[in-house]
Amino acid sequence: MKKKSYTIVAAMALVLLCGCGNKEQASTDGTAAGTTAAESTVNTEEADTTAADTEQGNTEGSTEAATEGAPAASLSDGTYLAKFETDSNMFHVNETQNGRGVLTVSGGKMTIHLVMPSQNIMNLFVGLAEDAQKDGADLLQPTVEQVTYSDGMTEAVYAFDLPVPVLDQEFDVALIGTKGKWYDHKVKVTEAEPYEGRKEDAGEIRDGEYTIEASVEGGTGRASITSPAKLTITGGEIRLQIEWSSPHYDYMIVDGEKYLPVNTDGNSVFNIPIKSVEKDMTVIADTTAMSEPHEIEYVLHLNPGTLK
């Protein structure tokens, strides 16, 4: 009888022990589950933070990229000296220009005056060579200018007024040489700085005699003028001496007034009034070289950076 009682007590103790063991296991499992849930929450937060950081990084990267690719701020109307860079040592400005050209800004449009090393480039085109060869392509015509080198030698070279669509960024320019083949190039206009000490109005320049690089554009493109040209200022009035490359000009018209040559022998020479050394002006010259006289309209361009 006692033996049976001991068996029942032992069985009850075993049940209680198993119950405690299960409770501890449940507690342990619960703690592990709680830890796993907490870790999951932390991992989710870290993932969200990482995603946010990534998104912010992408946004900042996009902003930086947009800033780097953005066009340079437009310049105010005026005249500047700017650096002209190309992708070829065969296409550059004349050595007398120190790698620069005169950049003119008017009405938000930019044009740089480029003096070439020779007369070997016949035309320029803003764009690709394949487009330059299409009908109606706007080919830039050269003007003739006289340059003086450090050794005193002078030479007649070509010059172009090249439209500039954007500053500090490359753009396409095609050229054709004397062999009739078009070439593609990348160019860039940078470091635009206003002229210092340049005066726009005649009244701000002392009376005296000066020289200035000059060119004309118009007609057949074969006529040119001697450059540098003589410029005289008296009482605030500017007079420019124009010597044509032909003796067949018998008069010029400037602002509605007719002017006759000041010489009788050699190429035709005129002294005409101009309003500014920094603004292009339209003039008319009558030529007798054809079967009958013709009045031809030209655009007179002066390079204020060369005023001496």
Place of tokens 């420019």: 240
Q: Do domains 78-194 and 202-306 have the same CATH topology?
A: yes
Q: Which amino acid is at 305?
A: G
Q: How far is CA 113 from CA 6, 189, 292, 303, in A?
A: 118, 11, 34, 8
Going through 131-275 in order, the beta strands assigned E by DSSP cover 143-148, 154-164, 171-177, 182-194, 208-218, 229-234, 237-243, 249-254, 257-259, 269-274
The pLDDT of residue 235 is 65
Other CB atoms within 10 Å distance of the CB of residue 300? 22
Q: Which amino acid is at 195?
A: Y
For domain 202-306, give the CATH number: 2.60.40.1850
The pLDDT of residue 220 is 74
- Is the dihedral angle over the CA atoms 247, 248, 254, 257 positive or is it negative? positive
The SS3 assignment for 57 reads helix
The pLDDT of residue 205 is 57
What's 123's DSSP letter? E
The pLDDT of residue 41 is 40
Count of CA atoms in the C-beta half-sphere (13 A) of 188: 10
Q: From CA 86, how far away is CA 88, in angstroms rounded?
A: 6
* Gyration radius (Cα) of the chain, Å: 40
Locate 179 and state its tokens: 């062999």
The pLDDT of residue 94 is 92
The pLDDT of residue 207 is 65
Ranges of each domain in the chain: 1-70, 78-194, 202-306
Residues of the chain with pLDDT under 70: 1-73, 195-207, 235-236
The pLDDT of residue 128 is 97
Domain 78-194 has CATH 2.60.40.1850: yes
Q: Which of 307, 308, 303 is nearest to 103 (CA)?
A: 303
Helix (DSSP H) and strand (DSSP E) numbers for the chain: 2, 16
The pLDDT of residue 206 is 63
The pLDDT of residue 201 is 42
3-state helix, strand, coil in the chain (%, to 5): 25, 40, 30
